[in-house]
């Protein structure tokens, strides 16, 4: 039996709520925020603000957070997540995370990744390596480089959000 239009909308809404809870939990994990610590979450949504308002208590309970929809929240010193529909979640980190320490940690991680990327890029630019290595190895190294470039982009965004640039 096919789903009705209302059922499809309800499922899509549930998926967004689930994605929001997952994003807040991921931010908690990324910044080592203890599960018992309550955090503030500001949700900015152009298309689904009503849905998030209706389910803010569920999101808050499942992610141990105080949720404000379309609340004004400072973006500097905050963690960000963007959901599939373009909704933005902002979690201010001041007072929860030592921003100076976290900023240093993120910059160190970014520097290490840059060094690894430079080394890998040189290897892939070396014609001796690409001509003698098995095609599988070369392809694997290219995939690794692509993954590291994505990771670098994400890390650079984190540095910008937490450190302010």
- pLDDT confidence bin for 55, thresholds 50/70/90: very high
Q: How does pLDDT run across 103-136, given as a tens digit for each residue? A: 899 899 999 999 999 999 999 999 999 999 999 9
What is the predicted pLDDT for the residue at 1?
Answer: 60
Backbone angles phi, psi at 36, to 5 degrees: -80, -10
Q: What is the pLDDT of residue 3?
A: 62
For the stretch 60-108, pLDDT in tens is 999 999 999 986 666 678 888 888 888 899 999 888 888 888 889 989 9
3-state percent breakdown (helix, strand, coil) of the chain, nearest 5: 60, 15, 25
CA distances from residue 45 to 16, 56, 84 in whole angstroms, order as listed: 11, 13, 11
Q: Confidence class of residue 161 from pLDDT cuts 50, 70 and 90?
A: confident
Average pLDDT of 36-61?
91
DSSP state of 75: -
pLDDT band (50, 70, 90) for residue 32: confident
Q: CA-CA-CA-CA torsion for 23, 79, 75, 62, nearest 10 degrees?
A: 40
Which pLDDT value is given to residue 112? Answer: 96
Record the pTM.
0.71
What is residue 148's predicted lDDT score, i.e. its pLDDT? Answer: 93
Catalogue the E-assigned strands of the chain.
39-44, 65-69, 78-82, 88-92
Across residues 143-164, what is the average pLDDT? 88
Look over the chain and give the mean of its residue pLDDT values, rounded to a whole number: 88
Residue 78 has a CB neighbour count (10 Å cut-off) of 19
């Amino acid at each position: 039996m096919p789903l009705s239009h209302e059922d499809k909308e309800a499922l899509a809404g549930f998926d967004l709520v689930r994605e929001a809870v997952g994003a807040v939990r991921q931010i908690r994990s990324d910044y080592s925020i203890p599960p018992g610590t309550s955090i503030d979450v500001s949700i900015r949504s152009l298309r689904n603000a009503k849905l998030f308002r209706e389910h803010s208590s569920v999101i808050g309970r499942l992610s141990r957070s105080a949720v404000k929809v379309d609340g004004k929240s400072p973006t500097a010193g905050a963690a960000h997540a963007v959901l599939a529909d373009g909704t933005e979640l902002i979690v201010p980190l001041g007072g929860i995370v030592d921003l100076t320490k976290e900023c240093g940690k993120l910059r160190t991680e970014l520097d290490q990744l840059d060094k690894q990327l430079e080394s890998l890029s040189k290897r892939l630019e070396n014609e001796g390596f690409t001509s003698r290595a098995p095609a599988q190895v070369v392809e694997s190294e290219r995939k690794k480089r692509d993954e590291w470039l994505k990771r670098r982009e994400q890390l650079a965004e984190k540095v910008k959000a937490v450190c302010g640039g």
